[in-house]
Amino acid sequence: MSEFLHHNGHIIPATEWHLSPDNRSFRYGDGFFETMKLLDGKIVLQELHFERLFISLEKLKFTRPEYLAPGYLQHAVYELVNKLGIADRARVRLTVYRGNGGPFDLQDHSPNILIQAWLLSAIANEFEPNGLSMGIYTDARKTTDLFSVVKSNNYQCYLMAALWAKEHGLDDALVLNAHDRLADATIANVFVVKDGTIVTPALTEGCIGGVMRRYILSALRKEGIPVVEGMITPAELSHASEIFLTNAMIGIKWVRNIEENTFKDNMAHYLYNKFIKNHLW
pLDDT per residue over 189-209, tens digit each?
999 999 999 999 999 999 999
What is the per-residue burial (b if ≥16 Cβ within 10 Å, else e) of 255-281?
A: bbbbeeeebbbebbbebbeebbeeeee
* 280: pLDDT strictly greater than 60: no
HEC string for the chain: CCCEEEECCEEEEHHHCCCCCCEHHHHHCCEEEEEEEEECCEECCHHHHHHHHHHHHHHCCCCCCCCCCHHHHHHHHHHHHHHHCCCCEEEEEEEEECCECCCCCCCCCCCEEEEEEEECCCCCCCCCCCCEEEEEEEEEEECCCCCCCCCECCCHHHHHHHHHHHHCCCCEEEEEECCCCEEEECCCEEEEEECCEEEEECHHHCCCCCHHHHHHHHHHHHHCCCEEEECCCHHHHCCCCEEEEEECCCEEEEEEEECCEECECHHHHHHHHHHCCCCCC
How far is the C-alpha of 98 from the C-alpha of 30, rounded, in Å?
6
Residue 148 shares a structural domain with residue 268: yes
Residue 201 shares a structural domain with residue 266: yes
Residue 150 shares a structural domain with residue 105: no
110-128 pLDDT per residue, tens: 999 999 999 998 777 789 8
Kindly report the CATH number assigned to the domain that includes residue 249: 3.20.10.10
* 157: pLDDT strictly greater than 70: yes
Residue 281 has a pLDDT of 55
% pLDDT > 70, the chain: 99
In a domain, 281, yes or no: no
75-90 pLDDT per residue, tens: 999 999 999 999 999 9
Residue 136 shares a structural domain with residue 245: yes
Residue 126 has a pLDDT of 87
The domain tally of the chain equals 2
% pLDDT > 90, the chain: 91
Per-chain mean pLDDT for the chain: 95
**pLDDT bracket for residue 105 (50, 70, 90):** confident
pTM: 0.95
Residue 1 has a pLDDT of 61
List the beta bridge partners of residue 71. none
Mean pLDDT, residues 203-226 taken together:
97
27-49 pLDDT per residue, tens: 999 999 999 999 999 999 999 99
Residue 124 has a pLDDT of 77
In a domain, 14, yes or no: yes
Nearest-10 Cα torsion for 35, 39, 41, 42:
-60
Q: The domain containing residue 61 runs over which residues?
A: 4-119
